[in-house]
Structure formats: C-alpha cells, structure tokens
Amino acid sequence: MSFKDIARLALAFTICLLWIVDTAMADTTPAGTIQEPNITGVWERYPSPFPEGDTGFEDLQPPGNGPDLKDPYASQWKAQAAKRQAALDAGTPLVDNSTRCLPEGMPTIMQAVYPIQILQTPGQITVLAEIFMQTRRIYIDQPFPAPDDLAPSYYGFSSAHWDGNTLVVKTRGVKTDVRFFEIPHSDAMTITEHYTLTKPDMLKLDISIEDPSYLKTPYRFTYEYKRNDKYRIGEYVCDASLTVFNPDGTVSVKVN
C-alpha cells in the first residue's frame, strides 16, 4: 500500500470519526425535553398603556383594581394620590423619582411606557428599557443571596426558572423608597412574575406582589406585550438640570 493510499484511509477515518462524535452529541438531549421559548426581542405594551389620544405619564393609573392595602396605609396612599392629582390639575406637579431622573425600579420598569428589549442568553434574562436606558438582570436557576447579603436596590435580586413554557421569576430586595404608583411596601416584599408566549409575537406577564406587612391580599395584575422586530431602542437621556425643584415639593421647568 502506497503512502497516498494510507493518507486517504486516514482522512476517511477522521471524517467518519467526526461524524460519529457530532451525531452522539446531537443525541444527548433526553427524549421529551421541552425547548425553552425564545422571548428575545423588542416588546411594546399591547394595547398601548396610554388612554386613546393621551401621551402623558400622568394619565396612567394603577393596573387592575389597585392594591388592597391595610390601614392606615390605604388612606395615606389615597390621600397622596389625590394630592398629586390636584397638583397636576393646577399645573404644579409634585416631585417624584421620574422628575429626579431616577430609575423606575421594579415592577415599574415592566410597565413599559416605552418599549423594552428582552435578551435571553444562557443563565440570564436581561431587560433593557428605553426610558432612562435602564437595565434589569434576571438570573436563571440561581439561589437568592442570604438576607444579610441582599443589598436593597432599584430592581432587587431576580431569580428565575422555567416551568414548562412559562418563565417564573421571583424578585426580592427592592428598596422601600422605590414605589410602584407610590404604593408603600416593606423590605420583605416579594414580586412573582410569570412570562408566557401566547403567540409567537405576543407575550403575557402575570405579576403578583406579596407583602403581608402592607397588603391584605396579594396585588395581582397582567401586562401584555406585542413583539416589534422593526423597532430599535433609542437613547433616552434624562437631564435633571432642566428641572427646578421648588421648596413646596413641586417641580417646574427651568427657563433660560
């Protein structure tokens, strides 16, 4: 046998071996394993969160029937809401986190008044919000830090797992001054989210907020989103230097 014949046999053997390895690796997925849905994309609320013909944030209302707060928190929350509405009607809005250019935090970021982008990668789901260019990280199959190690933050710590075709996310550790529609909460608040693709381009998010110190019953509501692959998340810079914070707690726009 010539050297060329030996070389040809060696090449054929190598190709055959590579094919066997590739086939074996392809067959390592257990039969019946469910492929995780792909929720990567740009998503916008559907229908729009704004009442028809309106585009102001002040038109937004708490979802569902609002929180079932204990007293005195219920009366305090309603009084603050009435005060804020009266200030808006008078053209003298009160200061809040948005006028101070602070992140929305959880769960407000998922309200998606402007589109959000979801990136699904191994071990992590990342939510990028256009408004204020916010970033939220959701860790897949990761345990919560010990309570002493869970530093309060705008988005808290989010741990998730797949339950069939549904992504289940639990979030704890949201700062107590980060409030969804100014609803008060304790540092023990837990937010549970269920993400489900109802159609290839439709995503449903069921949210439940539990906080026995403040809520009589869990606050539950649903957001729905429509995929928009043609939309590109833009730059949204909040410039607080243009805002005047008045001593009476109202805000106004600086006029040069």
pLDDT tens, residue order, the chain (256 aa): 554 554 454 444 444 443 433 444 444 444 445 689 999 999 999 998 876 655 555 668 899 989 999 999 999 999 999 999 999 889 888 988 888 999 999 999 999 999 999 999 999 999 999 999 999 999 999 999 998 999 999 999 999 999 999 999 999 999 999 999 999 999 999 999 999 999 999 999 999 999 999 999 999 999 999 999 999 999 999 988 888 889 888 888 877 6
The confidence score (pLDDT) of residue 154 equals: 98
Identify whether residues 17 and 141 lie together within a single domain. Answer: no
Identify whether residues 15 and 140 lie together within a single domain. Answer: no
Identify whether residues 195 and 74 lie together within a single domain. Answer: yes
Identify whether residues 122 and 235 lie together within a single domain. Answer: yes
177: left (phi > 0), else alpha (psi -120 to 50), else beta? alpha
The confidence score (pLDDT) of residue 8 equals: 57
Identify whether residues 120 and 64 lie together within a single domain. Answer: yes
Domain region containing 150: 41-252
Identify whether residues 173 and 206 lie together within a single domain. Answer: yes
Reference 117, options 106, 105, 129; nearest CA is 129
Token pair listed for 137? 């990280």
Residue type, position 43, single letter: W
Identify whether residues 76 and 164 lie together within a single domain. Answer: yes
pTM greater than 0.85 (yes/no): no
The confidence score (pLDDT) of residue 55 equals: 52
Identify whether residues 72 and 113 lie together within a single domain. Answer: yes
The confidence score (pLDDT) of residue 243 equals: 86
Identify whether residues 77 and 1 lie together within a single domain. Answer: no
Beta bridge partners, 119, equal 126
Q: How many domains does the chain have?
A: 2
Helix (H) or strand (E) holding 85: helix 73-89
Identify whether residues 89 and 130 lie together within a single domain. Answer: yes
Identify whether residues 146 and 60 lie together within a single domain. Answer: yes
Query: CA 167, CA 163: separation in Å to the nearest integer?
Result: 6
The confidence score (pLDDT) of residue 67 equals: 98
Identify whether residues 201 and 222 lie together within a single domain. Answer: yes
